[in-house]
Structure 1
Amino acid sequence: MYPPIEPYETGKLKVSNIHTLYYELSGNREGRPAVDYPVTVVFLHGGPGGGCDPKDRSFFDPTKYKIVLFDQRGAGKSTPTASLEENTTWDLVKDVEKLRTHLSIEKWHVFGGSWGSTLALAYAQSHPDRVLSLVLRGIFTLRKSELNFFYQEGTSHLFPDAWDEYIAQIPEAERNDMVLAYHAQLNSEDSETRIRAAKAWSKWEMATSKLYVDPAHIARAAEDDWANAFARIENHYFVNDGWMRDGQLLEKQGIDKIRHIPCIVVQGRYDVVCPARTAYDLKKIWPEITLHVVPDAGHSSREPGIAKLLVQATDSFSDI
């Protein structure tokens, strides 16, 4: 990954009567030799509800890219924090386009991992004429089978110790639908119940995201504000099926709209949050993509093999 950099501009964009997004620009603002404008990339963070991290700027060559990071509705520095009102997949798709227009960008590269890959596919299928390339990681399309694997039965067989902590928050009689059971607690009128559930929900994901479990990664789930936004928004999307038909983003009519867009996918072989099945299914319906399966990686974009291939991908598209 490229060395850390600081943004040269930050701003806020009001996208509804309720929501205001935080965004930042870093990297190249002047253009490249023989080109009077910088090539622009927009980074779509995971979760939903996860927000951006300063390290996310480092996937891109700052001498070539104008790098746009923004926190999605209710996440990170966007306000109001953890808000579920007017917060759907299609609201976020509209927000990406509003931000592009606000920044006077004609077309841009789109980069997203995990939930960010979901939003990237949804945005590209809605606005294919605005996307120069796609770099995706840990493909997730919100199918019921994907949610069941991680939140009901699948990953539980690989991380039984972390699973026991995750289900301990829920009465035994309600464990047949963990997403729905957590939804009740994450939206409880009692703030202590909400925060306790948010930390347990977040810890489950943090504890399973890397091939080698990272205590620092898990520790983030103990932060009240971050866990509250991450868990409440993520669960809100999942309990509502992302406001999409099951498998909608993998349907031929949607893929046909973006088939011309160059796309590189990086997938960890041992990703138990967004298992390789979905990336494989995307490759079957869209054989034109380049799919890299990293043999010694899980879900996190910070794992060495994944990070290396993501940077190689963005480097390869920097002259488009």
Structure 2
Amino acid sequence: MRYLSPADEPWASGYLPVDGGHRLHYEQRGAADGIPVVVVHGGPGSGNSAAHAVFFAADRYRVILADQRGAGRSEPAGRLENNTTADLLADLDRLRVHLGIARWLVVGGSWGATLAVLYAAARPECVRGLLLRNPFLARGADLEWFFGGAKAKHPAAWLAWAELGAPAAPGAMLPWLDADLHAASEARQAALVAAWHGWEGALAGAPARPLSARERDALRRRYRLQCHYFRQNCFLAENGILDASPALATAALPVHVVQGLADDVCPAAATRLLLARLPHASWDAIAGVGHDPFAAPMQEAIRAALDCFAATAAFPPGNRLPLA
């Protein structure tokens, strides 16, 4: 079986105009007559890439890679106006209709899993199933963990932010970051971006590395967009993801969750809460892997789940390791 490669060219691509002055970039890869699947990227603001197609068998799946508002190649880059969770969910359905797809498989990791759950709960008749990786529950507790709660576990990575004057009070990090990422000097913004990138990498289990000027500029746009969402609690009610998830069981949608046990960006403890609301879901817990979807064991588990779905329209039983 051949899986898609970043070297494979898309057979279609374009821009979809949506309201609020945004244009969404999308492309399609794989088999034009295959099972339609939309890959919902993380972030907010990270963008999609050809690398996200490598999980899919080239002759089985019609893979749609789309960039959310303000992210990736969508235009205008980094725009915050008319950019909310409700907008992103509506855009998913606009894209589905634009491409003439009745029902598609929805695959998302981290923030992409957040959107995938919300979309499937609202439009179950348009969804064949859900494959979620290291889901982000978007609660106040999850944001507080990322923006300070994890510093006792990752003190070396936190030091870069502390040296820039990061406030210690609960809830103070996001306003501080948001203000400086928009108004501080170019040098200070670059330092904040480097600190955030190093911190995120430490929690994700990724080694630190220097950033090019181009990477730094892209990350600055992404982090500004993340502050926009996170300061509004992702435009969701507290426990919005958990409260929406039982609708997936009611609709009898196949759901499979893959969780890296070494992930401190989206920890396994949160995934346990989600799975408790999804008693029909299957799952794989991957030891020694963090947030990286391309780590070999994670990639193997995702491919196995997708191959099973393509063959049977269901996911494998999973549950290979305890999440505790």
Provide TM-score, normalisation by structure 2. 0.89
After superposition, what is the alpha-carbon deviation per residue over 1:104-148, rounded to whole angstroms, capped at 9, x for unaligned? 000000000011111111111111111101000011111111111
1:148 is aligned to 144
Where 1:139 maps in the other structure, the secondary structure is: coil
Counterpart contact for 2:167–2:176, Cα < 8 Å = no
Question: Deviation digits for residues 8-60 of structure 1, max 9, x if unmatched?
Answer: 1110011124211110000001x3xxxxxx21000011111111121111111
Does 1:231 find its partner at 2:231?
Answer: no
CA distance in 2, matches of 1:295, 1:28: 33
Alignment equivalent of 2:89, drawn from 88, 93, 96: 93
Unaligned residue ranges in structure 1 (runs of 5+): 32-37
How far 1:255 sits from its partner (Å)?
2.4
Partner of 2:156: helix, strand, or coil?
Answer: helix
Over 3 Å counting, the alpha-carbon distance change for 1:223 and 1:129 in structure 2 is same
C-alpha separation between the residues in 1 aligned to 2:168 and 2:56? Answer: 48
1:275-294 matched pairs, under 5 angstroms? 275-294=267-286
What SS does the corresponding residue of 2:183 show, helix, strand or coil?
Answer: coil
The one of 117, 124, 128 equivalent to 1:121 is 117
Question: Secondary structure at 1:141's aligned position in 2?
Answer: coil
**Which residue of structure 1 aligns with residue 195 of structure 2?**
200
Q: Deviations over 1:152-185 (max 9, x none)?
A: 112x223211111133333557776212211111
The one-letter code sitting in structure 2 at the alignment partner of 1:314 is: L
Any idea what SS the aligned residue of 1:41 has? strand
Shift of 1:209: 1.4
Aligned equivalent of 2:207: 214
Matched ranges for 1:42-191 at <5 A: 42-154=38-150, 156-172=151-167, 177-188=172-183, 190-191=185-186
For structure 1, which segment, 179-188 or 17-26, has the greater mean C-alpha deviation from structure 2 after superposition? 179-188
Q: Give the counterpart letter for 2:144 in structure 1.
A: N
Deviation of 1:200 (Å)? 2.7
In the alignment, structure 1 residue 307 sits paired with structure 2 residue 307: no
User: Equivalents in 2 of 1:176, 1:247: separation in Å?
Assistant: 18
Residues in 2 aligned to 1:175 and 1:129: alpha-carbon distance in whole angstroms: 41
Match of 2:16 among 13, 21, 30: 13
Superposed, 1:254-265 pairs within 5 Å as 254-259=244-249, 260-265=252-257
Opposite residue 69 of structure 2, the aligned amino acid is R
Distance change (3 Å), C-alpha of 1:173 and 1:62? closer
SS at match of 2:143: helix
Moved more, 91-100 or 305-314: 305-314
Once superposed, what is the RMSD of the aligned Cα atoms? 2.0
* One-letter amino acid of the counterpart of residue 58, structure 1: V
Residue 2 (str. 1) matches residue 10 (str. 2): no
Q: Any idea what the Cα deviations from partners look like across 1:41-97, whole Å, max 9, x if unmatched?
A: 000111111111211111111101000001111111111111111111111000100
Number of residue pairs matched by the alignment: 307
Q: Deviations over 1:205-261 (max 9, x none)?
A: 133312xx3345x6479723311222111121111101111111101xx22321111
- Note the residue ranges of structure 2 that are not aligned, 5 or more in a row: 314-324
For 1:87 and 1:291, locate their aligned partners in 2 and report how far apart those are by CA, in whole Å: 32
CA distance in 2, matches of 1:261, 1:6: 32
Which shows bigger deviation, 256-265 or 102-111?
Answer: 256-265
